[in-house]
Amino acid sequence: MTAHMIAIALAVVIDRIIGDPRWLPHPVVGFGKLIAFFDKHLNYGQNRWAKGFAMLALVLFIVVLLAVGIVWAAYSLHIYFGVLVEAWLISTTIAAKGLKQAADEVKEPLQNGNLDEARLKLSYIVGRDTDQLNEAEITRGTVETVAENTSDGVTAPLFFALIGGAPLALLYRAINTCDSMVGYQNDKYGEFGFASAKCDDLFNWIPSRLTSIVMIAVNQPKLRRSKKACWEIVKRDAPKHPSPNSGWGEAAVAALLGIQLGGMNTYKGITSNRAKMGDPLVTMSAVHIEETNAIMLRTTTVFSLILIACGGVIVVLT
């Protein structure tokens, strides 16, 4: 268990310093290729609902089998080698550095008044149409992405790493990748992606709410709001989100910054009205992207420390 805790701590450090260098092999790339293979060969004809369940089960079985095998082999060679390998595997499931970098790539041209460049950079990280967005809407899209992915991209995989080490963290990331690739409510994926979407909802239920609690607890609200008032906004608005989990991070960030997230988006020209999170006390601008990054980094740091402390308590008690 001690080695396990050290691996989690090292994983956080690796992500903050190195992130995901393109020259290193990344498990999620492999997950994507595997999912694409099953999508191509199973997502047609009748019984797509059952085929979607089969696809998810096969992907998760392969991922866990490989992860357990790699971790077991590494620890069998030497405990220090095992810690390093497990730390690297866990680090591939978290993306605090990458999330901040992606947001900064939108913020910088936005601050310089280059809306076309900011719209282009935003289009890399969101699914909505970005070609007509103004500064406030570009900011909203970026802030929503960072707020939602604070849980999906950092705290949730760390939560599962505490429970089951690198294998469970990778299993979570595989579920999340399945959902991002096939978990859509449309003609092509409505049935085939049902299992992936529901499994992702289930696995994110606890981490998303814990993340929201930590967000409010460790970040100072703007505009002289109290933490209690911020939490009331979270409880009021988070359940309005179409996702059972995404609203918790978005509502927390909106409450802390005194901004309003949600509203009208367009996807390939089709309008979608999302529930609104928070109160529009100030107009959104590029500075809110920087402030959201700060919230994300502070939240994930404290969340990591809490998990490591919990692991230490378990070690002492056992």
pLDDT (0 to 100) of residue 152: 93
What average pLDDT does the segment 115-123 reach?
A: 95
**Residue 315 in this model has a pLDDT that exceeds 80:** no
Kindly report, residue by residue over 167-202, the tens digit of the pLDDT: 999 999 999 999 999 988 888 889 999 999 999 999
Cα separation, 270 vs 257, whole angstroms: 29
In the structure, what pLDDT confidence band is assigned to residue 313 with cuts at 50, 70 and 90? Answer: confident
pLDDT (0 to 100) of residue 88: 95
pLDDT (0 to 100) of residue 25: 76
**Residue 311 in this model has a pLDDT that exceeds 90:** no
What average pLDDT does the segment 245-267 reach?
A: 94
Kindly report, residue by residue over 205-222, the tens digit of the pLDDT: 999 999 999 999 999 999
| Residues contacting 8, CB < 8 A, separation 6+ | 87, 90, 158, 161, 162, 304, 307, 308, 311
Percent of the chain with pLDDT over 70: 99
In the structure, what pLDDT confidence band is assigned to residue 4 with cuts at 50, 70 and 90? Answer: confident
In the structure, what pLDDT confidence band is assigned to residue 97 with cuts at 50, 70 and 90? Answer: very high
**Residue 271 in this model has a pLDDT that exceeds 90:** no
**Residue 15 in this model has a pLDDT that exceeds 90:** yes
Per the structure, the count of domains in the chain is 1
Cα separation, 55 vs 38, whole angstroms: 6
pLDDT (0 to 100) of residue 99: 95
pLDDT (0 to 100) of residue 43: 93
pLDDT (0 to 100) of residue 18: 87
**Residue 24 in this model has a pLDDT that exceeds 80:** no
Cα separation, 161 vs 168, whole angstroms: 6
Cα separation, 114 vs 40, whole angstroms: 40
User: What one-letter code names the amino acid at 89?
Assistant: L
* Angstrom distances, CA of residue 134 to CA of 126, 186, 250, 291: 15, 28, 20, 19
Give the residue numbers spanning the domain of 29: 2-317
Cα separation, 262 vs 275, whole angstroms: 6
Q: Based on C-alpha coordinates, what's the Rg of the chain?
A: 20
- Averaged pLDDT of the chain: 93
Kindly report, residue by residue over 73-89, the tens digit of the pLDDT: 999 999 999 999 999 99
Kindly report, residue by residue over 277-296, the tens digit of the pLDDT: 999 999 999 999 999 999 99
**Residue 72 in this model has a pLDDT that exceeds 80:** yes
pLDDT (0 to 100) of residue 274: 86
pLDDT (0 to 100) of residue 119: 96
